[in-house]
Structure 1
Amino acid sequence: MPIHPPVEVAGHVWDWSETIVFGVLNVTPDSFSDGGQFDDVERAVARARELVAAGAHAIDVGGESTRPGSTPVPADEELARVLPVIERLASDEGVGVPISIDTYKAEVARAAVGAGASIVNDVSGLQLDAAMTATVAELGASVIIGHLRGEPATMMHDVSFDDVVAEVIDELKARVRQAVTAGIAAERIFVDPCFGFGKRAEHTLALLAATERLREEIGYPLMLGPSRKSFIGGVTGAPAQQRVMGTAAAAAIGIAQGAEMLRVHDVAELMPAIRVADAVRRA
């Protein structure tokens, strides 16, 4: 059963009676599993419509790949990728859901919210850009506070945890405190342990297994992003494009333990598993 009060995001009320699904829309040439597929505005809008028609409650737009070893993109290049898409999505009747901007740069977040985004999804948990926390507070946007040590380009160089679950909980709680102290309203905060970001497969599996603990100890709506991740490939041997069934299993496990939000690429393929897991969780 829901443990959080309903929240309003861009005119939509999320009462946690079902899992909130974010459909991934990468407008990048080099994302790990769908790079280059939607880097044209018309293709991106068409894909967003498909995601919403399949059941997505929000669209998460990304203009910079954060896969391990990725090269950082200058803010002006990231803006050139995402702003035309966000502007179109915000005015498209076939979309009609909240838009999230996947960025760790305050400049990009500000422009994206100005173009129509209402959620900032910062994988770094407000750590990589010193201006991000104050910017989100000023904008009044919702925020997904992620967990990442270091930067995407180097996050897998020195991965070390004594107790990954306890450490991720403590670090996310500290980042939430930072956000609230800066003036970000508590009801606008969501958290994400960020599977695979500075974490090896065994760390991600441990975090997934501890979903209920994460949810209860952090105390904010919990997003999971298992979609097509390498830990699934490590278990199944499947390449990124063939990890839908593994993603479905991870999603169902997370929902069964109380995760309120999912970020996935394959909304249509995953919705049956999500709905069954929802029904069992809420029975």
Structure 2
Amino acid sequence: MALVGFSLAAFMLLVPLPLKSRIGSAIGDLAHAPMFGGIFIAILLLWHRVSPLDQFGRAWLGRIALVTLCVFILGILVELAQTLTGRKAASHDVVANGLGILAAGMLCIAVLNYRYQPRRIWLSGLAALLAIGLVGIALTRPVRIIWDVLSVHRAYPSISSFERDWEMTRWHFDDCGGQIVSTHATDGSHAMRWSVRATEHPAATLVETVTDWSDAQSFEVDVTLAPTYPGIGGLYVKVIDHDHADYHEDVCRKQFLLTPGKTQHLVISREEIINGPDTRKLDLSNVKLVSLMLYRPEVPTWIDVDNLRVTTDQR
């Protein structure tokens, strides 16, 4: 049973995930703490079967400490090995592994203390509470991401308002970065500061949005170019459906000229979205991405972005 369990764990940890979405990754992250907690308990039980201990004391605590260290190192090695199988190593996975191991250790202490030292039931209760707390901390990140995935659909026709830090996990950045700020907010009290480098095409891409924009009359966004920028900025706003052949010509793209220090309301009409691709009509019922690209910025700069929204007939 241990061999089957370890083999299954190795398969789940090393084989590339079939779901390359935020919710798929979050579901995978949910498994890290319980999985490594289970590995910890399995190794401890196997050791106990080979060399039993008849009382709870320093020997048990020594075993728990040694197994904790070994399984934690195993978790780090697994994350490094993932880079060889097409997956990416993630520091938050290492943290989740460690929290799951510590939680399993606390659970073992609670059970062993209750079995061998029933008069010290307070220690079992404290260890059990610590185990529950550690598991809760480990599951917080994936649960919040799953919640944010669900909120994407509830918020439509609002696409992104940056009122929660977890909205930033919806974005992918090329030659740039993003963070939540409280300046130039036009919807609520926060916006995204999009920091770009002086490269060819720095782009911020919203990789998760509502797919069906069939009722859309326009797509709108508010932007503010840094007042220190030395000239007019050329911003391309793109709407991309699942049928796109490339990210340049077979998409809806519209250029806007940005004035430094001025908050501007940018609008792409329904007709412009549909007729955006060079050789076909864009499918509004199958939208995949929204992308912002600053064309050849002269110097590193920033743009505050807020209130990405689809307007509909019900507006």
| Structure-1-length-normalised TM-score | 0.27
Decide which structure has the larger Cα Rg and report it: 2
| Structure-2-length-normalised TM-score | 0.25
